[in-house]
Amino acid sequence: MKILVAVKRVIDYNVQIRVKEDGSGVHTDNVKMSTNPPDDNATEESVKLKESGKVKEIVAVTIGDDKAQETVRKALAVGADRGIHVKSDTYIEPLGIAKILKKVVEKEKPDMVFLGKQAIDDDCNQTGQMLAAMLNWPQATFSSKVTLKDKSMEIVREIDEGLETVEVNLPAVVTCDLRLNEPRYASLPNIMKAKKKPIDQMIAKDLGVDITNRVQQLKVEEPPKRKAGIKVANVAELVSKLKNEAKVI
């Protein structure tokens, strides 16, 4: 079987982002970038399935500018076999990304597509579900446990009420939760080996899909700041403040 895993380059999760003064977005110059965290879980799960012997090939794909290739290199360093970079120098919304991924799926014909459940930059939580709909495939979102069978997958999903188990026929799209697994670190020899693995390049606007953005970002601003609070000396003072000042208990 074959897996396509999609990875996105985002501002690193530890960076405190700064909003641009002109309201046009957030600062990205000289800011640490890395792979979207749940996309690492998607890669890790693919590699585990390959190690179990059920999966023969993993193809890692990213969409973005030249630097986005770093995310594919990272996936190659932990076990993906080859990469695809769909080049685009401008932002593409999830709808357009899903259309591009559909093109890649039609070319590569994987049995499964793994993605992170949400990108931590735009927080849209759409791409995997849109891709599944466009392909007319089933989906398993927010997955925290994946069991691969012959022609299907049993997936445990994290939902608001607790856990849900579904079974989806292959081919299927899986979006990964952070608790699915613990992504491994690439060893230095594997990082060196990954440099020799092939990355094919495609150009987003040449794929023949409409990737025009439909949602216009009018402005980006800082959220209202909270007023500075106080430190209390002890528990008795805390309870007294909550009772008499804040009046919440």
Partner 1 sequence: MSVLLIAEHNNKNLKPFTLNAITAASKIDPEVHVLVAGSGSESVAKEAASIPLVKKVLHCDSPNYQNYLPENLAPLVTKHSEKYDHIVASANTFGKNFMPRVAAALDTSQVSDIIKVNSPDTFVRPIYAGNAFATVKSNDKKRCVTIRPTSFEPAPKTGGSAQIEKVDAADVPNFSKFVKREETKSERPELGTARIVVSGGRGLESGENFKLITDIADKLNAAVGASRAAVDAGYISNDHQVGQTGKVVVPDLYIAVGISGAIQHLAGMKESKIIVAINKDGEAPIFSIADYGLEADLFKALPEFLSELNKLNTIQK
Which residues on neighbouring strands pair with residue 244, listed in sequence order? Answer: none
Q: Which stretch binds partner 1 (CB under 8 A): 1-9, 12-20, 56-64, 191-199?
A: 12-20
At 50, which helix (H) or strand (E)?
helix 37-51
Q: Is cis: bond before 171, omega within 30 of 0?
A: yes
Residue 140, burial from CB neighbour count under 10 angstroms (0-12, 13-18, 19+): buried
Q: Are 36 and 171 in contact (CB under 8 A)?
A: no
Buried b / exposed e over 88-119, threshold 16 CB at 10 Å, is: beeebbbbbbbbbbbbbbeebebbbbbbbbbb
d(CA 228, CA 123): 27
Instruction: Please give the backbone phi and psi of residue 169, each rounded to the nearest 5 degrees, phi first.
Output: -70, 150
Q: Are 67 and 32 in contact (CB under 8 A)?
A: no
Residue among 58, 68, 76, 95 that touches partner 1 (CB under 8 A): 95
Our finding on whether 31 is near partner 1 (CB under 8 A) is: no
Span 170-189, contacts to partner 1 by CB under 8 A: 172, 177-179
Comparison of 206 and 221: residue with beta carbon closer to partner 1:
221
Residue among 125, 145, 184, 191 that touches partner 1 (CB under 8 A): 125
Q: Which stretch binds partner 1 (CB under 8 A): 8-16, 48-56, 62-70, 200-208?
A: 8-16
Our finding on whether 161 is near partner 1 (CB under 8 A) is: yes
Span 40-79, contacts to partner 1 by CB under 8 A: none
Our finding on whether 195 is near partner 1 (CB under 8 A) is: no
Residue among 111, 154, 200, 205 that touches partner 1 (CB under 8 A): 154
Comparison of 170 and 199: residue with beta carbon closer to partner 1:
170
| DSSP label at residue 223 | P
> Shortest distance, CB of residue 158 to partner 1, whole angstroms?
5
Sign of the Cα pseudo-torsion (208, 214, 216, 220, in order)? negative
Q: Which stretch binds partner 1 (CB under 8 A): 58-66, 80-88, 91-99, 189-197?
A: 91-99
> Shortest distance, CB of residue 72 to partner 1, whole angstroms?
23
Q: Which stretch binds partner 1 (CB under 8 A): 56-64, 66-74, 83-91, 120-128?
A: 120-128
Our finding on whether 123 is near partner 1 (CB under 8 A) is: yes
Our finding on whether 244 is near partner 1 (CB under 8 A) is: no
